[in-house]
Structure 1
C-alpha cells in the first residue's frame, strides 16, 4: 500500500509540474506575441526578428 501511495504522489507531482510548465509557456508566448505586434506596428525590424526567433525557439 505504501508503494502505491508513493507512486500516486509522484504522479500528482509530475502532473502539477507539467501544468505549471504549460502555464508558463503560454504566458511567455502571449507576452512575445504582444511584443511582436508592437514591434511590427512601430516598424522595428530588428526587434521583430529577435522576438520571432525567440518565439520559434520557445515552440520547439
Structure 2
C-alpha cells in the first residue's frame, strides 16, 4: 500500500509539473506576440527576427 501511495504522489507531482510548464509556455508565447507586434510597429527588424525565432523555437 505504501508503494502505491508513493507512486501516486510521484505521478501527481509530474502532472502538476506538466501543467506548470504548459502555463509558462503559454504565458511566454503571449508575451512574445505582444513584443513582436511592438517590434513591427517600431519597424525594428532585428527585434522582430529574434522574437519570431524564439516563438518558433517555443512552439516546436
What are the ranges of 5 or more consecutive residues in structure 2 without an aligned counterpart? none
What are the ranges of 5 or more consecutive residues in structure 1 without an aligned counterpart? none
| TM-score (ref. length: structure 1) | 0.95
Deviations 1:21-47 (A, max 9, x none): 001101111100000000011111111
CA distance in 1: counterparts of 2:7 and 2:40, whole angstroms? 49
CA distance in 2: counterparts of 1:47 and 1:3, whole angstroms? 52
Number of residues of Structure 1 aligned to a counterpart in Structure 2: 60
User: How do 1:19-58 and structure 2 match up within 5 A?
Assistant: 19-58=19-58
